[in-house]
Amino acid sequence: MKKLLNDPQDAVAESLEGFGQAHADLVEVHLDPPYVTRAGGAVEGKVGLVSGGGSGHEPLHGGFVGLGMLDAAVPGAVFTSPTPDQIAPALQAADSGAGVLAIVKNYTGDVLNFETAVELVEAEGVRAASVLVNDDVAVEDSLYTAGRRGVAGTVCVEKIAGAAAERGDDLDAVAEAARGVVANVRSMGVALSACTVPHVGRPSFDLGDDELEIGIGIHGEPGRHRVPVAPADAVTRMLLDPVADDLGLDSGEDVLLFVNGMGGTPLSELYVVYRRARRLLEERGVRVTRSLVGNYVTSLEMQGASVTVLRLDDERTTLWDAPVRTPALHW
């Protein structure tokens, strides 16, 4: 294993410190306990948005803290949920009196720890709610969760809910906007290689040079099945068809097409996947009216990609287009 680290046990803390220094105009990093907040603190009268999860998925979640998205993000150890004593201070820091919404990916540790933290801050008088993201169509249950996993669709939830909060919607309306995205977004991924967790020092799973893992999770969880290496167009169909079928897309609908890299795949290859996924949607009569391509929800250095489709309506399109300024997403 070769990585640009010092002591693997210090990897998350040192990465957070550098992240905070590099983006001091946008975020503030707190190290004891570790969490990230929007520079300047909570915005008066605005619903606060908080998310988090294991590190190793950068830029998720800290990279999405800023105007138009999150007010705080909580990083756990690599591929490990943050603890309630990290999450609760982040929830409190994001509260300016209008309440706080926690956006939680559906992994058992994240769900339990965020639930506990929400209860703790509610006991202190903070009005809080939570939304569960479960966009992965690959499996119903995995090593890490009961039900579908939360993966790249989380970016769509954070962006659209963040825009609703930024324009002044109340807590119930922001939560409703988030749940609307959850109900209309689906994802599926593929791994070409495994990743190596720094403190473990070996690949998360064994994958032959002539094999692909279809339906992989963002922690190296097993997918639906293994298949022989195939051309990009064939692999893209294996990802896009289950997503579109699960959404029940009809001809004439508008969608956002999001092709996400897992950390080790060149952007040039992600555009090859996007090209085919868009064509497959157009063959169904579906209009791709918004797009996102890049590394946004990664799995350390894993080679692979995921395809996410979000059904759009006028409201979700408006919120997607609203201004955003974070380290990883800005327009």
Q: How far is CA 89 from CA 33, 35, 36, 39, 61, in A?
A: 8, 8, 10, 16, 16
Q: How many CB atoms lie within 10 A of CB 194?
A: 21
| Burial letters 4-22, b for 16+ CB under 10 A, else e | eeeeeeebbbebbeebbee
* Pairing verdict, β 72-78 and 34-38: antiparallel
* SS3 (DSSP) at 144: coil
Catalytic residue among 199, 219, 225, 330: 219
* SS3 (DSSP) at 18: helix
Catalytic residue among 57, 199, 225, 330: 57
* SS3 (DSSP) at 48: strand
Does 57 participate in catalysis according to the annotation? yes
Catalytic residues: 57, 219
